[in-house]
Amino acid sequence: MQKSHVRLPITVNEHGQPIGANSSQFTHFLGHLSQSYQYCPIYRPWNKVKPEKKDKLLKFLRTKFDIPPTANSWILQSNGRKMKNWRARVKECFFDTSKPMEELLKSPPLQLTKRHWRRLLEYWTRDNVMEMTEKNKANRAKKKLSQMTGKKSFARIREEMKVKLGREPTRVDMFKECYKSGEGAAARVFEQMKDLTEKLGDGATDAPGPDNVFATVMSKAKNGTAEMYGLGVRANHLWGTGPSRLAVSKVNAQLMSRNA
d(CA 59, CA 33): 13
User: Greater confidence, 111 or 205?
Assistant: 111
Q: What is the rounded average pLDDT for all residues in the chain?
A: 82
The CA angle 246-229-158, to the nearest 5 degrees, is 115
Least trusted range by pLDDT, from 24-33, 89-98, 189-198, 225-234: 225-234
Q: Are 244 and 233 in contact (CB under 8 A)?
A: yes
Q: With cut-offs at 50, 70 and 90, classify the pLDDT of residue 178.
A: confident
- Give residue 240's pLDDT: 61
CB atoms within 10 A of CB 217: 23
- Give residue 259's pLDDT: 47
Q: What is the pTM of this model?
A: 0.79
- Give residue 39's pLDDT: 87
Q: Which of 178, 172, 182, 188 is nearest to 220 (CA)?
A: 188
d(CA 169, CA 155): 11
Q: Which residues make Cβ contacts (< 8 Å) with residue 96, sequence separation at least 6? A: 104
Q: Are 80 and 72 in contact (CB under 8 A)?
A: no
Helix (H) or strand (E) holding 65: strand 65-66
- Give residue 65's pLDDT: 97
- Domain segments of the chain: what residues? 8-141, 154-229
Least trusted range by pLDDT, from 8-12, 228-232, 236-240: 236-240
